[in-house]
Amino acid sequence: MLNLEEFYRDNKIIKAYLDGGLSEYHDFSFSKENLMLKADQREFDGNIRKVLVDHLNQQYTGLTVSQSTQTNIDRLNESNVYTVTTGHQCNIFGGPMFFIYKILQVINICEELNASGAEKKFVPVFWMASEDHDLEEIASVNVFHEKLKWEREQEGAVGRMSLEGMTEVLDSIQSKFRDDEGKQLFDIFQSYIKEESLAKATLFLVNALFGKFGLVVLDADSPSLKAIFSETMKSELLDSTSWNAINQTISEFENLNYKVQVTPREINLFYLSNGSRNRIVKEGGEFQIVDTEIQFTEAQILDELQIHPEKFSPNVVMRPMYQETILPNIAYLGGAGEIAYWLEFKRAFEEYGISFPILIVRNSLVLMDRSVNKKLSKTGLDPIEFLKKEDVLIKDYLKSHSDEIDFDDELDKLGAIKETLVEKSLKIDAGLKGNVEATFAKFEKELGKMESRFIRSLKQKSENELNAIKAVNAKFYPNGTFQERFENFTPYYINFGSKFLDLIKNEVGAFEQRLKFVDLEQYSNPS
């Protein structure tokens, strides 16, 4: 186990946030007490609650809705009920594993808050990024060591796309779903690919997997919800409010040497039309829809916004503000990259008068099966060691198992001799210093080559152990990518059945900010 501060020690902005810094860019740090305090302060219009609940009930029409999810939807009408939210793109078949981790952590947080006995209630929400238009990012998934690609040529908001071609993707791995647990998941996937759009398919899948925990899924691509946000969108069109506010923060971040995640545009809205999602820009008093012939005068675009708010789509800058406008939300849970860009937005939230949520850096898991445990045992290494780059890990391993390849003492001695000879050279002729330094540079280079030859020889003698290290590393970093960002949940679900979700829910935690290595052998494994 590793705390997140250590895990993100090389991510300057996230490390600072987790260490309790950057207070001017957020309101409260993440804790149970602060979530309760945020709920005490959170004001939310009852009329918006009604619109939200009506939309959710309509959205879930035709789906099997668990009693706990329906109860949570109905609760959102009550003034003492708040949400904790996470979000994700509509990746096919759920995408990488962290999709499951972030949802289950939000569920755990709400369960712990609800168990505190307070009068307030908390509902876990999954926000579908159904209006994103980057199809390439969501159209592939890694399952059973294969990269499956949805071949699709559509444009526009991915959530509105039909699922033509998805049958071929599922058919390519059908043989893997052999036993009862596999068939159960295959049935879910078969229903998934029969939905009329990717948004509806994602809603179906997430509800099928997490509905038993009371999770509420929200697809906010909705006329009624967009109408609530229309005044903010109007200000964005006319005043470029977020552009000015966020650029001020970016300037401050650059002075602090923080990596900037998102750069705002003068207008942070897209226009949805005829299967496309295009930027809105203002040129010479006219509003132009980029890469189209559509343009509006100021009066015309404001009329369009009032009559058809659903045609206006928030980009990455405005989407968080849209979320916090239509949900009685107190916290948002996301990955390090997400939290880094949310920290850019607080000043813009303040300009718009929108409540800024508590930000939660999600937890991470590394799953270890029987084969990994056997290899780990052979190496004698702690799993944490495998967070290093493979070449560094191997070199450290060899050094720890042989004093003969540690040249640090020799280099220190060489350095001391060099200093002595430099001093002598300066007493005789200052021009000799360069010759001394050049000579010792050659010595150091040759020592480096000698160290490499020693390491190469030891590698041959430690072949079995090094192969075990490489095998474990390949499990932790398949294809060079961190496990949770590469693998899909499907093979694990087939192996453990639906209890895999309970297993992960038990391990992912709630308020403990950590990376955890999970030994799957401690759970009953049918294989």
Angle at 375 between CA 370 and CA 376, to 5 degrees: 95
State the DSSP string of 156-186: S-GGG---TTHHHHHHTTGGG--SHHHHHHH
| Contacts by 34-40, CB closer than 8 A, 24 or more apart | 34/358, 35/84, 35/109, 35/113, 35/122, 35/330, 35/331, 35/358, 36/113, 36/116, 36/118, 36/120, 38/330, 38/331, 38/357, 38/358, 39/82, 39/120, 39/122, 39/330
> What is the spatial distance between Cα 33 and Cα 14, in angstroms, rounded to a whole number?
21
pLDDT per residue, tens digit, the chain (527 aa), is 899 999 999 999 999 999 999 999 998 999 999 999 999 999 999 999 999 999 999 999 999 999 999 999 999 999 999 999 999 999 999 999 999 999 999 999 999 999 987 899 999 999 999 999 889 999 999 998 899 999 988 889 999 999 999 999 999 999 889 888 889 999 999 999 999 999 999 999 999 999 999 999 999 999 999 999 999 999 999 999 999 999 999 999 999 999 999 999 999 999 998 789 999 999 988 999 999 999 999 999 999 999 999 999 999 999 999 999 999 999 999 999 999 999 999 999 999 999 999 999 999 999 999 999 999 998 889 999 999 999 899 888 877 766 555 667 777 787 888 888 888 888 888 878 888 888 888 888 887 787 777 766 666 656 788 889 999 999 999 999 999 999 999 999 999 988 999 999 999 999 999 999 999 998 865 44
CB 450 within 8 A of CB 63: no
Scanning the structure block, which residue is given the tokens 């300057």?
12
Angle between helices 432-461 and 390-400 (to 10 degrees): 90
> What is the spatial distance between Cα 523 and Cα 81, in angstroms, rounded to a whole number?
35
Q: Give the residues across from 241 on adjacent strands.
A: none
Please tell me the total number of residues recorded for the chain in this structure: 527
Residues 6+ apart with CB under 8 A from 396: 385, 388
For CA atoms 339, 345, 347, 348, the dihedral sign is negative
> What is the spatial distance between Cα 284 and Cα 290, in angstroms, rounded to a whole number?
14
> What is the spatial distance between Cα 445 and Cα 451, in angstroms, rounded to a whole number?
10
